[in-house]
Amino acid sequence: MDPEVVETAPDSAAADPVEAVVEAVAEPLFAYAPIMPEIVLAVGAMALLMLGVFRSERSAEPIMWLSILLLAIAALLILAQGNETRLLFEGTVIVDPFARLLKLLSLLGSAVAIFMSFDYLREARIMKFELPILIVLATLGMLMMISANDLIALYLGLELQSLSLYVIAAFRRDAIRSSEAGLKYFVLGALSSGMLLYGCSLIYGFTGSTEFIRIAQALESGGANLGLIFGIVFFIAGLAFKVSAVPFHMWTPDVYEGAPTPVTAFFAAAPKVAAMAMFVRAMLTAFPAITAEWQQIIVFISIASMLLGAFAAIAQTNIKRLMAYSSIGHMGFALVGLAAGTAEGAQGVIVYLAIYLVMNLGVFACILAMRRSDGMVEDINELAGLSSNNPLMAFLLAMLMFSLAGIPPLAGFFAKFYVFLAAIQAGLYPLAVIGVLASVVGAYYYLRIIKIMYFDSPAERFDPMPMALKSVLGVSGIIVIFFVAYPAPLVDAAEVAAKSLF
């Protein structure tokens, strides 16, 4: 830069009103740079909404593409932010490496979910511009959840996300299953929000603040008392509902089964990542002083989720229900990392969520491709003989299933490895042992799908897979298979992110 220009700049700024205005605009822009992705999503969603309303039905497909573009812009803005930790709005919003990494994962999950849904929406005749916009609004809620450093910010982000999810679960409003899914999700979600708020109000009442940092300060000097623990129990109950951990999992299979399949693909990926990130941040930054108290609750819901996910999935024949129980189990495994309550544990959770996201999107690309001329099929027996009808799809799906079961050397093994390692380092041996046993039981139903694909007599062929699904399945399969060769980028990023919580 030319030093002379810098010298003269203040003078000319004072003289020139235009530059003064530019400066007045630029300064707040710079101050709010850390939450620029959120601002872009909010403004972009509103702009797309206007575009959709003015151009009506014809604009659905362009708006889907524009929504993906919007999510990509938000991701680029996050990538451009560097690596420092910034607090905004007097400490109620935090943007640190943890937030950045998990925001990127959420944006990825949302964008891929929109990308995979074109063909389904066209066939089901529900190609409406509101769907991508609601997904963008839900993603905005997720970013706010991940950055929340305050109970109110957490609740507002969570509500924004949940409200959008309730609507898109019922998006196929003429199908009774979809309406039922939306209504069930809404009623149970409202109940869980109530419990969460009750817990928040108790925590606020006993510590005097809603900010995580100040709650932690108050606990350090005052310690835990009964009322506060009561509040934390309600708080965890509300959060456990959002990550669909046992015993607050009842909604998951029905909602996954009833919602339109691309919406299910979305539900299984990005919202889970965001809710788990919020869970981890709330526990580790607001209540580090009383880890021993909340640890036992997390250990319990983690064990219960792993076991229920493993045993209840065995009897399922509908692949969407099966994936619902699978996701309950996986959330149990991710909670193992949180139960450890250490930086290694948080790193394990992050690695787990990233790999879980990739595997799930791949599996749902296959589920969305289970289509014949007379419509979608969802029974797992329809996959029979896929190995001879479509060998490549069968191979990649088999790899994804092996990975979900946690068989080395696929990515899913490393996901489980890091969380169990953290649990053992934290001395939680029973938890780790039960987790490994649950993953062995869980392997049964993943392997059953592989057996159906490779050893059963072939069923009728599926329609050819659309390009979008092919590419998602391909990329997901490649990541899962070759993660072992080059795990460093994810593991290192997760380590940096986890360190920022402590």
Interaction site with other proteins (CB under 8 A): 35, 42, 46, 49, 88-90, 92-93, 128, 130, 133-134, 137, 140-141, 144, 152-153, 156-157, 159-160, 163-164, 166-167, 170-171, 173, 182, 202, 206-211, 214-215, 217-223, 225-227, 230
Between 171 and 402, CB nearer to other proteins: 171
Check: CB of residue 351 under 8 Å from CB of residue 418: yes
Closest CA relative to residue 349, chosen from 417, 247, 429 = 417
Strands (E), 377-438: none
3 state SS of 318: strand
Between 163 and 496, CB nearer to other proteins: 163
Whose structure tokens read 């959770």?
349
Distance in Å, CB of 339 to other proteins, minimum:
25
Check: CB of residue 433 under 8 Å from CB of residue 362: no
What tokens appear for 346 in the block? 């948080």
Question: DSSP readout, 444-495?
Answer: HHHHHHHHHHHHSPP-PPPPPPPHHHHHHHHHHHHHHHHGGG--HHHHHHHH
Between 55 and 372, CB nearer to other proteins: 55
Between 103 and 416, CB nearer to other proteins: 103
Between 177 and 214, CB nearer to other proteins: 214
Between 135 and 245, CB nearer to other proteins: 135
Between 228 and 501, CB nearer to other proteins: 228
Distance in Å, CB of 341 to other proteins, minimum:
21
β-partners of residue 318 are: 379
Residues in CB range of 182: below 8 A, 6 or more apart = 166, 167, 169, 170, 171, 258, 259
Distance in Å, CB of 216 to other proteins, minimum:
9
Distance in Å, CB of 134 to other proteins, minimum:
7
Distance in Å, CB of 228 to other proteins, minimum:
8
86-88/371-372 β-pairing: unpaired
φ, ψ for residue 129, nearest 5 deg: -70, -15
Distance CA 73, CA 376 (A): 33
93-95/371-372 β-pairing: unpaired
Distance in Å, CB of 494 to other proteins, minimum:
28
Distance in Å, CB of 335 to other proteins, minimum:
25
Between 6 and 24, CB nearer to other proteins: 24
Give long-range contacts, CB 8 A cutoff, 24+ apart: 193-198.
Answer: 193/155, 193/158, 193/159, 193/162, 193/238, 195/234, 195/237, 195/238, 195/241, 196/155, 196/158, 196/234, 196/235, 196/237, 196/238, 196/239, 196/241, 197/155, 197/238, 198/231, 198/234
Distance in Å, CB of 108 to other proteins, minimum:
22
Between 206 and 420, CB nearer to other proteins: 206
Distance in Å, CB of 37 to other proteins, minimum:
14
